[in-house]
């Protein structure tokens, strides 16, 4: 199958036997084969894995240097049948000097040798005693009759994966102000490999991890780090075998338990390329002297993904920072509204409350904004507008919520207004079509707009990001307002913000908490088609347009990550394997694309609303597309 951007990589700490290179060779070969059997296509061992990092003055011995080169040739020959690229670090003698180097090997060939630029010579480090800093420009060396490029400006590009280009820096290079990885990335590298031998001490683990994650974020790259471990000397320091894999600021995996391991994860180089395309300030720099060497992988498709895909990518519900993130969202919403209130000098805000999640959150946001502005919450006017399909549960919750908050509550039954309007256009009252439903939504907007004029206020929109993406709103009905506080909050996040408020108010305002919890437990419904009983909900939104948890997942990976349809389908199957089968996911994904593109005309006329997360559909900012785009090209692969 064609590679979809995922590539399996491995960080490895091999066993080291000081002054026993043959044993080191055997362990490197053994672990390379093991990692390849696990699916890894790109692997790196720790710094000076071929000899050990702690040989000290023995690096200068001709015996050590010759056996290291012989060991490199042996590793190259013994791994020629492996479908991978691997990095093995060794001391390398070149033009009378010794360099801390990393050989890049693939399918029986040494492709190049990267050289360490920065040699630490402080505290416990004495690298400059044994090695020479890298020369500035690439040169050529001979190994086993083959001419091999050597130097600091080598990149390795996979022919089968357009966005996979590899650069190498070694240990201390990462800790410097002008890192080689910066230059590699600016010349096209999407994956940085770092064979390292950083000793362990208190506080260093977290610093090292933070540094690697920050580097991967700054460079928009993946970063593969393998540190020295078991077998190195403990004469003055100890090595803990740290393994770290990061991608664009995210920690994909880590090990640091003083045991030598193989750690395998999937990185996504297409995602990195997409992020770089989006970021107009990310500039490529064609530095003089850089050399790109191609390599091939016979099978580049990662069949099983060693990667976690959360069901709610906007907000990891399992995160320890969940409440902080929810508070940030809530504060962004309320501060956006505060600014709009101050700018318009409005006396009131008008909110249509339905007893559902979105209007509940909008009301909570308005309440917080008024409190922070020291304004009387009685100037928040919450209007319930029951009609043909309104149930007692939602009607009661609207009233209780408003009264508990102490805002002004009004109930205006719009049944007669809608009947009169339908009669005016000769529409049967028992024909439950789009006109029947939309007439109710527009009647509600009509009431809200006129009330705002009458009370010198502004109408607060309640529609969330998920509904806006799917076009699940009546054009010039609930699609329209004067300021929408929920515009960039997906439905799955709306739930969590409301849940947070409910939990926080459990003791201080138990009735408010209880009401919010009941709203959370109420099925999501537009309540536009009447049922036989006033207490029965006849329309369940997610039965009509699909589960919001799926659509929010689709939307995030479509816009935030730029994933293609089949890639979204693939990861959705993994993420929701305990909830939906493949056919169900595919059907809702098709509907998502159809509705998303067909609904752009509604978004093109959408009101203002503050951005609170990484995905927004504002036609003035994050998403500028014409209203007459088709979904054809996005549906072809899903047939």
pLDDT band, very low/low/confident/very high, at 471 (cuts 50, 70, 90): very high
pLDDT in tens, 155-197: 999 999 999 999 999 999 999 999 999 999 999 999 999 999 9
pLDDT in tens, 525-563: 999 999 876 667 878 999 999 999 999 999 999 999 999
Angle between helices 434-454 and 415-424 (to 10 degrees): 120
pLDDT band, very low/low/confident/very high, at 199 (cuts 50, 70, 90): confident
More confident residue, 89 or 234: 89
**Share of the chain residues as helix, strand and coil, in percent rounded to the nearest 5:** 40, 20, 40
**CB neighbours of residue 274 within 10 Å:** 18
Is 158 a catalytic site residue? no
Percent of the chain whose predicted confidence (pLDDT) is above 70: 99
DSSP 3-state of 280: coil
Please report the pLDDT score of residue 534 as a whole number: 63
Average pLDDT for the chain? 96
CATH of domain 322-638: 3.40.50.620
Residues 6+ apart with CB under 8 A from 229: 13, 16, 46, 239, 240, 241, 242, 258, 259, 260
Is 171 a catalytic site residue? yes
Please report the pLDDT score of residue 122 as a whole number: 87
Contact 46, 64 (CB under 8 A): no
Please report the pLDDT score of residue 18 as a whole number: 96
C-alpha–C-alpha distance, residues 478 and 471, integer Å: 11
Q: What pTM did the predictor assign?
A: 0.94
Contact 516, 575 (CB under 8 A): no
Q: What are the residue ranges spanned by the domains of the chain?
A: 6-295, 322-638
Please report the pLDDT score of residue 275 as a whole number: 97
Contact 389, 358 (CB under 8 A): no
Is 542 a catalytic site residue? no
pLDDT in tens, 557-586: 999 999 999 999 999 999 999 999 999 999
Please report the pLDDT score of residue 256 as a whole number: 94
pLDDT in tens, 594-634: 999 999 999 999 999 999 999 999 999 899 999 999 999 99
Please report the pLDDT score of residue 316 as a whole number: 75
Percent of the chain whose predicted confidence (pLDDT) is above 90: 92
Domain 6-295 is of which CATH architecture? 4-Layer Sandwich (3.60)
pLDDT in tens, 487-520: 999 999 999 999 999 999 999 999 999 999 999 9
Mean pLDDT, range 339-365, rounded to an integer: 98
Which residue, chain included where needed, has tokens 């060939």? 109
Please state whether 495 falls in left (phi above 0), alpha (psi between -120 and 50) or beta: alpha
Contact 138, 292 (CB under 8 A): no
Domain 6-295 shares a fold with domain 322-638: no
Angle between helices 548-555 and 565-575 (to 10 degrees): 130
The tokens for 85 are: 């690229």
Our measurement of the distance from residue 43's CA atom to the centroid of its chain's CA atoms, rounded to an integer in Å, reads 24
Residues recorded for the chain:
639
Q: For residue 202, with 0-12 CB atoms within 10 Å meaning exposed, 13-18 middle and 19 or more buried, which class applies?
A: exposed
pLDDT in tens, 59-101: 999 999 999 999 999 999 999 999 999 999 999 999 999 999 9
pLDDT band, very low/low/confident/very high, at 1 (cuts 50, 70, 90): confident
pLDDT in tens, 365-401: 999 999 999 999 999 999 999 999 999 999 999 999 9
Mean pLDDT, range 300-320, rounded to an integer: 88
Among 31, 41, 116, 255, the one annotated catalytic: 116
State the distance between the two ends of the chain, measured CA to CA, in whole angstroms: 17
Among 41, 169, 171, 590, the one annotated catalytic: 171
Among 31, 47, 153, 368, the one annotated catalytic: 47
- Closest by CA position to 536, among listed 517, 523, 521, 545: 523
pLDDT in tens, 260-273: 999 999 999 999 99
């Amino acid at each position: 199958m064609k590679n979809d951007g995922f590539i399996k990589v491995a960080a490895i700490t091999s066993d080291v036997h000081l002054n026993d290179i043959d044993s080191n060779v055997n362990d490197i070969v053994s672990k390379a084969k093991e990692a390849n059997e696990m699916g890894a296509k790109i692997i790196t061992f720790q710094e000076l894995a071929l000899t050990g990092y702690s040989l000290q003055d023995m690096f200068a011995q001709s015996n050590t240097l010759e056996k290291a080169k012989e060991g490199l040739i042996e590793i190259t020959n013994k791994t020629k049948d492996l479908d991978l690229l691997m990095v093995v670090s060794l001391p390398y003698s070149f033009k009378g000097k010794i360099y801390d180097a990393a050989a890049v090997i693939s399918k029986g060939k040494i492709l190049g040798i990267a050289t360490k630029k920065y040699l630490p010579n402080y505290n416990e480090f004495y690298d400059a005693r044994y090695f020479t800093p890298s020369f500035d420009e690439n040169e050529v060396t001979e190994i086993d009759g083959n001419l091999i490029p050597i130097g600091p400006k080598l990149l390795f590009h996979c022919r089968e994966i357009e966005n996979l280009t590899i650069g190498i820096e070694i240990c201390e290079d990462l800790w410097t102000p002008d890192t080689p990885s910066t230059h590699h990335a600016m010349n096209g590298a999407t994956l940085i490999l770092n064979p390292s031998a950083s000793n362990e001490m208190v506080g260093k683990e977290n610093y090292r991890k933070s540094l690697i994650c920050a580097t991967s974020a700054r460079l928009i790259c993946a970063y593969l780090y393998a540190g020295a471990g078991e077998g190195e000397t403990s004469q003055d320091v100890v090595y803990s075998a740290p393994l770290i894999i990061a991608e664009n600021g995210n920690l994909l995996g880590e090990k640091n338990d003083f045991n030598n391991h193989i750690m395998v994860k999937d990185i996504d180089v297409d995602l990195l390329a997409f992020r770089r395309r989006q970021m107009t300030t990310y500039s490529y720099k064609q530095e003089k002297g850089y050399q790109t060497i191609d390599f091939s992988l016979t099978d580049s498709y990662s069949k099983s993904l060693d990667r976690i895909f959360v069901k709610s990518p906007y907000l990891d519900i399992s995160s320890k920072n969940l409440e902080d993130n929810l508070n940030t969202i809530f504060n962004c919403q309320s501060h956006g509204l505060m600014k709009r209130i101050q700018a318009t000098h409005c006396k009131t805000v008008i909110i249509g409350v339905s007893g559902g999640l979105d209007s509940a959150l909008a009301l909570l946001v308005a309440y917080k904004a008024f409190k922070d502005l020291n304004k009387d919450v009685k100037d928040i006017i919450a209007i319930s507008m029951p009609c043909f399909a309104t149930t007692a549960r939602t009607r009661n919750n609207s009233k209780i919520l408003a009264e508990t908050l102490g805002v002004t509550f009004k109930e205006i039954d719009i049944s007669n207004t809608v009947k009169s309007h339908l009669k005016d256009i000769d529409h049967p009252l028992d024909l439950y079509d789009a006109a029947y439903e939309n007439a109710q939504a527009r009647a509600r907007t009509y009431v809200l707009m006129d009330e705002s004029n009458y009370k010198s206020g502004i109408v607060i929109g309640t529609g969330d990001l998920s509904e806006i993406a799917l076009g699940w709103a009546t054009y010039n009905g609930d699609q329209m307002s004067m300021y929408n506080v929920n515009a960039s909050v997906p439905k799955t996040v709306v739930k969590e913000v409301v849940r947070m408020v409910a939990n926080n108010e459990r003791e201080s305002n138990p009735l408010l908490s209880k009401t919010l919890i009941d709203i959370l437990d109420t099925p999501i419904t537009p309540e536009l088609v009447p049922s036989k009983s006033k207490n029965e909900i006849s329309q369940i939104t997610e039965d009509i347009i699909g589960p919001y948890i799926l659509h929010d997942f689709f939307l995030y990976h479509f816009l935030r990550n730029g994933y293609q349809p089949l890639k979204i389908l693939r990861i959705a199957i993994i993420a929701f394997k305990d909830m939906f089968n493949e056919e169900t996911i595919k059907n809702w994904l098709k509907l998502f694309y159809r509705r998303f593109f067909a609904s752009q005309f509604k978004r093109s006329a959408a009101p203002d609303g503050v951005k609170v997360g990484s995905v927004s559909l504002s036609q003035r900012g994050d998403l500028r597309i014409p209203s007459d785009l088709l979904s054809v090209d996005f549906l072809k692969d899903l047939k």
